């Protein structure tokens, strides 16, 4: 685990929350929930990518998925 990345992503997420939270339409619980979930997802995503930089990329998955079709082009 790289602590620099961990601290970085945490600080960025907190700054965004501090800036954006008061501006979310009051009384819309769904908006607030969406903001919290997406912020948490971004944070978790960042931590995971920082911890395991060599995760297989989504493009590899898609390349494999579409291989029967893409063979037609090659």
Shortest distance, position 36 Cβ to other proteins, whole Å: 9
Shortest distance, position 29 Cβ to other proteins, whole Å: 10
Q: What is the C-alpha to C-alpha distance for residues 2 and 70, in angstroms, rounded to an integer?
A: 38
Q: What is the C-alpha to C-alpha distance for residues 10 and 70, in angstroms, rounded to an integer?
A: 40
Position 1 contacts other proteins (CB under 8 A): no
Q: Who contacts 49 (Cβ-Cβ below 8 Å, separation ≥6)?
A: 55
Closest CA to 21 of 6, 35, 40, 2: 35
Shortest distance, position 23 Cβ to other proteins, whole Å: 7
Residues that bind other proteins in the complex, under the rule CB under 8 A: 9, 12-13, 16, 19-20, 23-25, 28, 30-31, 34-35, 38-39, 41-43, 45-46, 49, 54-55, 57-60, 62-63, 66, 69-70, 73-74
């Amino acid at each position: 685990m790289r602590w620099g990345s961990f601290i970085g992503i945490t600080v960025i997420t907190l700054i965004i929350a501090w800036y954006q939270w008061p501006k979310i339409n009051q009384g819309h619980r769904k908006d607030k929930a969406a903001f919290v979930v997406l912020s948490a997802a971004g944070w978790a995503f960042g931590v995971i990518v920082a911890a395991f930089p060599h995760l297989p990329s989504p493009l590899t998955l898609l390349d494999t998925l579409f291989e029967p079709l893409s063979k037609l082009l090659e």
